[in-house]
Structure 1
Amino acid sequence: AVLPNPQDLGENYDGETSIGCRIRGKKDGKEHTYYVYNNCKHQEAYNETGMQGVSYTTGVPAMIGAMMFLKGIWKKPGVWNVEEFDPDPFMEQLNKQGLPWHEVFDGDLEID
């Protein structure tokens, strides 16, 4: 194999993942910014699962999406993208399943 087994990487990882959406636009004629994000510490993910934070932040959302379908929370006739379903139950589960998210309204989102 060319790539190492991801399970062998986790023990020595340090730092955090940072996943977020940075949004800027107008609402009611006024300029606004919005940032929603999650940070996940590699060592905490490893201590819980034996995997690093990248694997954790990939697997947990996939599991939640599957759960939304299996429990019938996301259910519509036809073919849909997951982005077309109500995000609130998904976001609630992120908090419950170890990936808490945070919001910043009208904060300074400029990147130097």
Structure 2
Amino acid sequence: MGSKSSPQGDVYSYGIMLLELFTGRRPTDEIFKHDLSLRDYAESSDIDNLVEIIDPCLISEAQNRVQDSRFDILEELKCLDSVIKIGLLCSLDDPKQRMEVVDVISQLNVIRKTLEKILNH
């Protein structure tokens, strides 16, 4: 039980948490019983099939906003894709290859500002 905590370990946990939040799945979900993991599941997506792995509640909210003709769902999907990629980069097996905390914060702030522009346009 007793590994020392480290920034790399915290980044890994944060990455897994992002993947959980945005996919709506937990690492212990039934579909991950065999050789598939939450990380593998998220890694298999790209912008073309992102809708298949994103939490359906997030997709539903985006679709509701589409009714406003000023809203661009593709731009929101690009932001969601960026968050998934951050989660994947944070949860790499090799701690040395994971994102630095400061970079995670910076990238998430860029995504937040982009979403604010989209939603307030």
Higher relative contact order (CA 8 A, sep 6+): 2
Q: Which structure has the highest helix share of the two?
A: 2
Structure 1 and Structure 2 fold alike (TM over 0.5): no
TM-score band (shorter)? Answer: under 0.3
TM-score, scaled relative to structure 2 = 0.23
